[in-house]
Chain A
C-alpha cells in the first residue's frame, strides 16, 4: 500500500489492521494445519465484524478469568506465583477447548509484583482472600471529591504520582514529588530533586526497581505465550483494552458511591474530568492496536448498565465520552470490542448511533433477540453465555441455549458466540457442549 497512514480513510485503516492480523509477520506456524486454522479463524471473525459478507460459521471466543487454572487442578495462588504454571495451564485450556481465539494469559498477573509494591486496590489469593479464589477489587474513594480541579488540569500528573501513591503502599512517598514543569532555567535546578535524596522517596524507587525486575520476569511468560499461541493456530482476541471515561472514574478513582454522588453534587466537574480523559483513553487503544497488528481493542463497560443510571443520566454522563472514545478508535482503524456487562436492555436504542461494521458488542444479561434486532446491520453482537447455566445447568441445557442463540442471533452473520461475563469455575462439559454446538450448528450456507 503506497499511502501513508495519515492519508488512509478509517475503512482503509481497519482493513490494514485486519490484514496485519490475518497475515502476521514473524509467526512460525507449528504446522500447515495450524496456519490454516489461524487464517480461517481471523478471516471468520473479520467477516462477522465487518458485516460485508457471511463468515463460514459463527465464530466462538472464550474469555475466562481463572478458569484455565481450575481446569488444570491449580489454584489462583498457584498461577499467580508460578509463571510457568500459568503458561502451561492457559495453553492446555485453549488447546483442549479449541475456541477461535486465545485471550492471552495476563489474568493471573504476578502476585510477587503486587507484594513488592504493596498493592491496596485488590485483595488477592494469599493476601486477603483464600488461595483458591480469584482476586477481588476493593471499592473505595481513591480520588477525593475535592480533587477534580487538580485532576482536570493535569490528569497525567495524577496518574503518574497521585493515584499510584494511593494504590501502591510502597509508592506513597511519590506524592511528595513536585512537578518538574517549572524547571526551565538553571536557577534552583536542584531544588525539586531534594525529595529524591531523602529516605522515603529512595525507598519508593528501590521498590520500583525490584518490581520492574519481577515484572520483566512475568512478562517473559506472557510474551512466550503470545508467541506460541498464534503458532498453534490461535489468534489473540485483543491487542489490548481501554475503558469508558465514566468507568475510569467510577470504578477505581471515585468509586461507585463517589461518582453517583458527583452526578448530583458536581456534575460539571465530572463531565469536564471525563472529557480530559477521552484523548488519553483513545490513544491507549490506538497505540496498542498499531503495535500488536491487531485491530481489536477490548472495552469492558461497568457502570452504565440497566439500573445503574437513568436513561437521562446515561445519555448525559455515560454515553457521550464513551462514544467519543469509540469514534476515536474507529477513526484509526481500531475495532472497539465492547463488553456490556450487566443488562443493556434500556441502552440498545442509544448505542445504535454508531457506524456500520465497526464495533462488536458482547452482552451479558441483555435480551439477545432484542439486541440482534436493534443492532442488525450496525454492529456484530455476541455474548450471553449465562453463568448460572454454565455452573449449575446440564450439558443439555448448554447445548439448547447455544442452539437458540445461534438461531436468533446468527441470522445473516454479525454474531460471535462468547461468554457474557468472566468465568472461574464452571462445568467443563457444558463449555464443551457449547463449542461443539457452534461448530456443528453454526455453519452458514
Chain B
C-alpha cells in the first residue's frame, strides 16, 4: 500500500492518494510509514521539478495533498513521535517587502525534504533575523525578496548578522523574482537560488558539509 501511496501522490492523483491514506489508517498501518511514503513521493516530485517535467501546479498540489494526509494521520500519530530532521533553516521575506508566495513554496519544500524550518514571515527587520539565528541556531538562513528595495534590505540583513558575530555560523541564500548573482554579491550572501528546488539543494549541500 505504501508503494501505491507514493505513486498516487507523485502522479498527482489526489482522490486516490487521500483514499489510500484513509484506508491505511483504518487498516492500522503505522502512521509514520504513511508520512514516510508521503515524503518519498515529495522527493519524486522535487526531482521531477528539477528535471523540468513538473512545475508550480504540481508543487502546490503535492503540498496540499501532504497537508491533507498529515491531517488524516494526526489522530493516530503518537505525541512523542519525532520525525527526524537533518537541518535547520530560518527564512523570511526581508524588511519592506511583503511578497510571500515564492517563500511559502520554499518553506514547504524544505519542510518535506526533512528540514526544520522557522518561517519569520514577511517584512522582517534585520534584528529579527539576528534574534532568530541566536535562538533557533540554524545552519542556513534564507532571505526572500521581490522588489528593488529588497536588494538593500538583504544587504542590511547580512550586515546585521555580521555585526552580531554570527556570519560564520550560518550559510545565507537569497531568492526571489529579480534575484541574481550580482544581487548575491551586493548583499554579501553565499548563494542565490533561482527556484524552490535550488533552495533545497543548497540547504542540503550546506548541511551535509557540516
Contact = CB atoms under 8 A, between A and B. Distances in A.
Interface of A: 123, 128-130, 133-134, 136, 138-139, 256-257, 260-261, 263-265, 307-310, 313, 342, 386-389, 391-393, 421, 423-426
Contacts of A393: 182
Given A307-B195, A392-B151, A133 B56 contact: no
A263 B97 CA distance: 29
B148 A424 contact: yes
Interface of B: 12, 14, 53-57, 60-61, 64, 96-101, 123, 147-149, 151, 177-180, 182-183, 185-186, 195
B96 A421 contact: no
B159 to A, nearest CB: 15
Nearest to A256: B101
A389 B53 CA distance: 31
B201 to A, nearest CB: 15
A139 to B, nearest CB: 6
Given A388-B151, A391-B151, A393-B182, A136 B98 contact: yes
Which residue, A308, A310, A393, has most C-beta atoms of chain B within 10 A?
A: A310
29 contacts: A129-B96, A129-B123, A134-B147, A136-B97, A138-B98, A256-B60, A256-B101, A257-B60, A257-B101, A260-B61, A265-B14, A307-B56, A308-B55, A309-B57, A313-B55, A386-B178, A387-B178, A388-B178, A388-B186, A391-B186, A392-B182, A392-B185, A392-B186, A393-B182, A421-B177, A423-B148, A424-B147, A424-B148, A425-B149
Q: Which 8 A-B pairs have the closest CB atoms?
A: A260-B57, A388-B182, A392-B186, A387-B178, A260-B60, A388-B180, A424-B148, A136-B98
A387 B148 contact: yes
A133 B185 CA distance: 23
A22 to B, nearest CB: 34
B5 to A, nearest CB: 18
B178 A424 contact: no
A10 B139 CA distance: 61
B31 to A, nearest CB: 25
